[in-house]
Chains A and B, each alone.
Chain A
Amino acid sequence: MRPVVLDTSVLLPALISPRGYRRRFLIVLALGALAARRDLLRHEANALRAQAASAGGQPGGRPLETLAEQAKARYLRLRDALPAGCPDDWQLVASRPLLAEYERKLREAGPRLDPTMRERDIDAIRRQITAICADVTDDFEPGLIPPYTTDRNDDPVVHTALLADATWLIADDTKHICTQPDLTEYQLPGTDRRVSAVTFSRFLDHLSEVDLDHVDPRLLQIAFQPLGASCSRRTMGR
């Protein structure tokens, strides 16, 4: 697994603009989320059963085994639509404060992009972010984390990347996050845990396994399409 954390400067263009390379990388991350779920949901099912047997409690609701089967089927469908050899171990990690920060930026900047952007659009975009996340770090209070950058609003993304032990923090904010020309390194105080922040264009130098030119940016729909639905030209909105 190669966890990555995305700053708003990368994630929001990836979600809103269906044309760019950031969107294409987001599809690679969606494949990673499905791969993680395919494995993790089975273990969650076993762990819940063990918990119920040893300490009491009753599992219920949507069966985790069914969700695991669906994740596997969605994974295979998306993998088959992507170029051969597309990696499935890049995984998006977030945290509750980071999800809140994505939403805050979207709420503020969204109407500047599109004055007709409404609350339901913002809710939908936030849901999409959450659905693409392979994991969520433990919670933290943004006001209590160390000052990593010169902008307190940018500190949660750095802290999340450190908690996630992320391979990369990808940010196109060169004023506050990627302040060095190549790599900007951050360290979690009191530990030896570090993360390197890079711009998206620099990150592409490290993404040699897949040619993003061959990733159809409209494939994001496929990751979440109901099973049994065909990925026809009509359903992909062509």
Chain B
Amino acid sequence: MRRANGQIKKITQNPITECKSRVSCYDVLEDYPRDRMSAVRSQPKLLSTKQAAELLNVSKRTILNWIESGKIPYLKLPGGDYRVPLAGLLASLSGTYQLDEEIRALDERYAAASDADVQRALDSNEEVHRARA
């Protein structure tokens, strides 16, 4: 069903996302130019504050704090609820956290660790799981 440009549309007819396993989907904004789809397959997606919180594994209160302090982009709906654009949320992580410093600190700490070391830790974890089972 087509709607006027700019209106939010819930994906309900897509056979992929209509899979029984789907428990929720993100709203998409319909006026996304279709000629961009080949270059960027993502569509602008809007998340509720609950979805944004679950995605980042933070509390809903944290998302609301970020909204109130202007740290992340949002759309305030006429009813007072908020929607957070997905790409904007992910892009805002660089300003909300000092990601480069976090990476530098971890790289210094694990400078000697090889891929094989990490793989061994993952494998030994699997062995423990199997032994328990």
Residues of chain A having any CB pair with chain B under 8 Å: 1, 3, 8-9, 12-22, 33, 36-37, 39-41, 43-44, 46-64, 67, 70-71, 74, 96, 99-100, 103, 105, 108-110, 112-114, 121, 123-128, 130-131, 133-136, 138-141, 144-146, 159, 162-163, 165, 172, 188-191, 193, 218, 220-226, 229, 235-237
Contact = CB atoms under 8 A, between A and B. Distances in A.
Contacts of B16: 162-163, 165, 188, 191, 193
Nearest to A226: B100
Size range of the chain B interface in the assembly: 35 or more
Nearest to A33: B90
Given A47-B29, A61-B74, A224-B103, A188 B19 contact: yes
Interface in B1-37: 4-8, 11, 15-17, 19-26, 29, 31-33, 36
Interface of B: 4-8, 11, 15-17, 19-26, 29, 31-33, 36, 39-42, 44-45, 51, 54-57, 66-67, 70-78, 83, 85-88, 90-95, 97, 99-100, 102-111, 113-115, 117-119, 121-122, 124-125
Q: Which 3 A-B pairs have the closest CB atoms?
A: A50-B6, A47-B29, A20-B115
B57 A103 contact: yes
A135 B114 contact: no
B99 A17 contact: no
